[in-house]
Structure 1
C-alpha cells in the first residue's frame, strides 16, 4: 500500500472514530427529546440520566484523546562536537537511504533504536526529526550491526512512516482513552470496541509492512550479514539487559541501595558472560506472530532480508562504543538524566553488592527471628534465642512453620539450610566474611583470604541438641559471635513481596468495605467505597503507583507468617476468618457483585487452604 494511501486510511479511520462519537451524541439527544415528549416524571428523568451518563463516559475519553500529544523518550542529547564519528555515520546513512538526517540524536536507556518527527497538517509538512539510540546497543553491537539498525530507523524517514506517527498516536490514544472509560454494560461503548478492534487490525498490518520496508533499507545500506546478525542480536541483548536488572540491581534497589554506574555495570556483565550469550545466539529466532503485532516475527524478517538483492559492503567489526568518545562519562551523564535514585544510598559496585546481599540475608533471618521470639516468649530474638530453642529441644516447633509438609523431626533437620543463613549473617556482622561481587556468576560469601566461606557443616551440627556444643565451639574458632545476629525488622513488612492478585470490594470484619490485594507475603486491605463499580480499575491504578512495601506500610497488612490458622466459613463466595498468633482475628467476605481480577478468587482459596493446613499441622 503506497504511503499516500496509508495516510488516507489512518486519517479517515481516525476521523471516523470521532464521527462515531458525534453520531452517538446526536442519537442520545434525539432519544432524550423523544422520552420527554412521551413520558414525564421520575422514570423519564432516570432513563435520560442513564443515557447521558453512558454517552458522557465515551465523550470524556474522546476529549482526553483530542488533547493528548505524543511524548518524546527522555534521554541524553549528544551533539556533533561531542560525537563526531557517530554523526558522520548517521549523515552518511541518511544520504544512502535517500532522506534528510535527523536534527537531534539522543541516547536512551532501552535496548532499542527509534525515530520520530514533529509534523504538521496530519503529516503533510515535515518538522524536527529525532533519532534515539539505546545505550545498551552501543555497548554491545559492532559498528556494522549498529549501522544496520540506524539504517532501518532512517528507512522509516525515507518511507515517510514518521509523517503518520502523530496521527497513529492520536488514533491509539483515542481508542485507549475512550474504551478505558467505558463499562461493559455501556451499549454506546460496544460500537467503539468493534471500531477499535478494526483500527488495531488495520494499523498493526500497516506497521508490519513498514517494518519490512525499513528492513530492506537496512540490507541495502549495511548488507544482509550485518542486518540479520543485528536482528538476531537484539533479543540476546534484551535478555541480558533484563537479567542484569533482575539479578544485579533490583534486589538492592528495593531495599534502599543503588549502584553508582548503572550503564557501566551492564557493559561489564556483557563482557563477562560470553558463554551464556553464545548459547543464546545458537537458538533459532522466534517465528511466532499474530495479527495484532506491530512487528513481523524475527524469523520472517530474516527470511525477507536474505531474499533481498545482495551488495558488497566494507566490513567494520569495531565495537560500536568507539562512536561514543568518553563512553564512561556519557553513561554517567545519561544515568543522571534518566535514573531517579530517590533517597537510596549510592555505592560503588563492590560495596553495593556487599550491602545488598547483607541486607537480603538480614531480611531472611528476620523472618526466622520473629517466629523464634514468639516460640521463646521474648519481645525480640536473634541467633542466640534460636540456638536456645535447639538446646531446649524445641527447634521442631519453630521449623514446622517453614516446612509445614514435614514432620517436626524432619523439619528440624531441614532447618539446617536456614541455620546456615543465620550463621552467615552472624559472620558478616562479626567481620569475618564478606560478600564478593562477580560479573561472571552470583555473589559469593568469602573469608578474608578470598576463599568461599562454607558454614553448612556447622549448621548441620547446630540443629541437633547433642552436637550443638561442637557447633558453638567451631563458630567461636572462626571468630563468629552468635550475639552479632539480631532481628532488625521485628514486624513483618511487604519488602520484596510480589503482587499475586486482587479481590476488590470485600466486606472486612463484618462491615467495613475494602479492596483485598494478595501479595506473596500477605494480604493488604485498602479502603473502598460501598459501591462495587470500577473496583478492578481502582485496584489497578493503586498498584500502578505503589510498590508492595509501600502498600503494606500505608494500609492494613496481615502477613502470612502472623496467621496461626484459618477458618473458612464458605468457599464461594469466599468467607473466611484469619486467626492470628497474637489472638486477634480478621474476617473478610467476598461479595456476589464484587469485581474479580483474573482468577484471584481461586488463588485466595488456595492460599487460605495452605494457611489452614499449616495451622492444623
Structure 2
C-alpha cells in the first residue's frame, strides 16, 4: 500500500508540469523544479537499500564460551530452531535476535545479541526463558516478517521526513505513517505474546515472569550505574570491572529500592500504548500466569556461564572506545575506589582552602562555618560563581565532610564506597560516615560543644587538620561513547547503507534532464515568448 501511494504521488508530481505544458502551453520553472524535487525526495525514500549489518558488539566464539553456547543450543533444540550464525556481546539489559545482511532478504544471516548486564541481572533459568522467547521469534517467522516491516517503517519515516518542507506533500505520508505504525506495532505486540507463551511452555512461566520483572528494574538501573559510576571513572582514565560493579550497584539498598519502584511503576501501566511495540508488563505477566511454573530451575547467576570475564569486558570496552583510547584506560577494581579515586579527589577539593585549616583540629570543624566569607571568596575565584544563600548549606556540608574524610584517611582510616551510597571510613571495628556525621554541624543543628563531645568519644577530636594535602593528578580522557542500546527483534537500528551520494546525484541529474527535455519538447518551443514563459518571466 505504501509503495503504491508513493508511486502515485511521484506520478502526480511529474504529471503536473507536463499537464501544464500540454493544456496551458506554459510551465513556471518554479513549479517544474518544485515538483521534480518532490518526486526525487519521495523516490529517494523508497529506493532499495542494501542491508549492511554493523556488529553491535564483539562476537562470542563457542570455542572460548562452551558453557554459554551449550545453554543456547539446548534452548534452540527445545524450540526446534537452528543456531544463530553469530552471537554478540552487547552493553545493555537486553537480548535480541534478527536476520540481517543481504539484499531484499537474500543472503541474510541469523544473529543474536546478549547483554552483559542482562547476564549479570538474571539467573540461568531466567536467561533460558529469555532465550526461548527470542528463538520463538525465529520459530514464528517474526524476524523475516519484522525485517520487511523494519525496512518499510523506515521508508515511511524517510518519506515523511523528506517531504516535511511541504505540508501538502507530507500530509499523505504522515497520515499513512500513523496508520502503518498502529497496525504493525499491534502485530508486534501479538508476536511478543506468542513468543512469551512458547517460552513459558518450554521453560516455565515463573522464570519468564521473574525475568521480565528483573529486566524492567535492571534496565534503568544500568543506565544510572553507567552515568553515575562508570562514566566518571572512564573520564579519570580507569576501566572498571563492568559486571562486578553492576552487581554491587544492584545490591545497594538504595538502588535496590529504586529498581523495585521502577518495576512497580511499570506494573501500574495496565495497557500498552497503540504505538508501543511490546505489551505492557502486567499484560505479559497475566498472559502466561495459567501455564506451569517450571521445575528444577537453575538459580545460579547467568553471568557464571561466561568464561574469562575480564577478557570479555576488555574486548567490549575496546569495541566501544577503540584500541587507541582503550590503551589509555587502566584496569580498575571497585575495591580500589577509596585509594585510587576518593582520596585524591578529596585532597584536590580541600587543597585550595588549606590556609583556613591552620591551627585547627577535628574538634574545631564547626568553626569553619564562621569562615563563610573566606570560603566564598576562594570558591568564587576557582569557579567564577558566587554562592547563593540556598546553596551554602550543601557546599559547607560537602566541604566539612571532605575535610573530615581526608584527615581520617591520613591517620590510618580506610576509605570505602558502596554503589549508590556515600563513602564510609573504617578503623578496626569503628565505622564513620563522614558526610552524614557532619550534616548536623553543616546545617547548624549541632552545637560546637556537642560536636566536640562526639568526636572525643571516637578518639579523633585532637587530630590536626593541617596534615599534608597532596592531590594526585589524574589526566582526564574524553569519553567518546556510552553503552549502546541493542536492538529488539524486528526493530533493528537503521544500519542499511544508502546508495552512494554520487550515484544518487547522477541518477537524479539524468532523470531530471530527461524529464525537463520531455516537458520542453512538449511545449514545442518556437518563439522567444514561450522561452520567457518557461522561465516564468512572460
Same fold at TM > 0.5: yes
Rounded to whole Å, the distance in 1 between the matches of 2:215 and 2:464 is 49
- Whether 2:393 is the aligned partner of 1:442: answer no
* Larger RCO, structure (CA 8 Å, separation 6 or more): 2
- Whether 2:301 is the aligned partner of 1:319: answer yes
User: Residues 5-50 of structure 1: CA distance to partner in whole angstroms, max 9, x if unpaired?
Assistant: xxxxxxxxxxx33333332222222212334553758xx2233333
Residue aligning to 1:234: 215
C-alpha root-mean-square deviation of aligned residues, in Å? Answer: 4.4
Q: Aligned-pair distance for 1:261?
A: 1.8
Residue aligning to 1:222: 203
Asked if the contact 2:347/2:406 (under 8 Å) is kept, the reply is: no
The correspondence of residues 33-432 of structure 1 with structure 2, limited to 5 A, is 33-36=18-21, 38=24, 44-63=28-47, 66-67=48-49, 69=51, 71-118=53-100, 122-123=104-105, 127-183=108-164, 185-253=166-234, 255-273=235-253, 276=257, 279=260, 283=264, 285=267, 286-308=269-291, 310=292, 313-339=295-321, 346=330, 348=332, 349-351=334-336, 415-423=392-400, 432=410
User: Residues 204-231 of structure 1: CA distance to partner in whole angstroms, max 9, x if unpaired?
Assistant: 0111111111111101210122222222
Q: Aligned-pair distance for 1:393?
A: 6.9
Asked if the contact 2:160/2:173 (under 8 Å) is kept, the reply is: yes
Q: What are structure 1's unaligned runs of at least 5 residues? A: 1-15, 367-380, 465-474, 489-494, 497-617
Q: Aligned-pair distance for 1:76?
A: 2.8
Structure of larger gyration radius: 2
Residue aligning to 1:521: none
Rounded to whole Å, the distance in 2 between the matches of 1:213 and 1:392 is 65
Rounded to whole Å, the distance in 1 between the matches of 2:294 and 2:378 is 71
Q: Aligned-pair distance for 1:343?
A: 8.9
User: Residues 373-394 of structure 1: CA distance to partner in whole angstroms, max 9, x if unpaired?
Assistant: xxxxxxxx85659999977978
Rounded to whole Å, the distance in 2 between the matches of 1:220 and 1:135 is 26
More strand by share: 1
SS in 2 for 1:136: helix
SS in 1 for 2:289: helix
Rounded to whole Å, the distance in 2 between the matches of 1:311 and 1:382 is 62
Q: Aligned-pair distance for 1:71?
A: 3.6
Q: 1:36 to 1:247 in 2, by over 3 A?
A: same
- Whether 2:1 is the aligned partner of 1:19: answer no
Rounded to whole Å, the distance in 2 between the matches of 1:59 and 1:440 is 52
Q: Aligned-pair distance for 1:289?
A: 1.1
Rounded to whole Å, the distance in 1 between the matches of 2:280 and 2:330 is 40
Aligned length: 434
The correspondence of residues 438-587 of structure 1 with structure 2, limited to 5 A, is 438-439=417-418, 441-444=420-423, 446=425, 451-453=432-434, 454=437, 478-481=463-466
Asked if the contact 1:382/1:485 (under 8 Å) is kept, the reply is: no
SS in 1 for 2:288: helix
SS in 2 for 1:116: strand
Asked if the contact 2:124/2:298 (under 8 Å) is kept, the reply is: yes
Q: 1:45 to 1:215 in 2, by over 3 A?
A: same
Q: What are structure 2's unaligned runs of at least 5 residues? A: 358-366, 448-459, 480-538
User: Residues 112-155 of structure 1: CA distance to partner in whole angstroms, max 9, x if unpaired?
Assistant: 111112476755x6842222211122223222111111001001
Rounded to whole Å, the distance in 1 between the matches of 2:343 and 2:136 is 50
Asked if the contact 2:68/2:306 (under 8 Å) is kept, the reply is: yes
Q: 1:233 to 1:396 in 2, by over 3 A?
A: closer
Q: 1:165 to 1:360 in 2, by over 3 A?
A: farther
Rounded to whole Å, the distance in 2 between the matches of 1:197 and 1:330 is 42
Q: 1:231 to 1:25 in 2, by over 3 A?
A: same
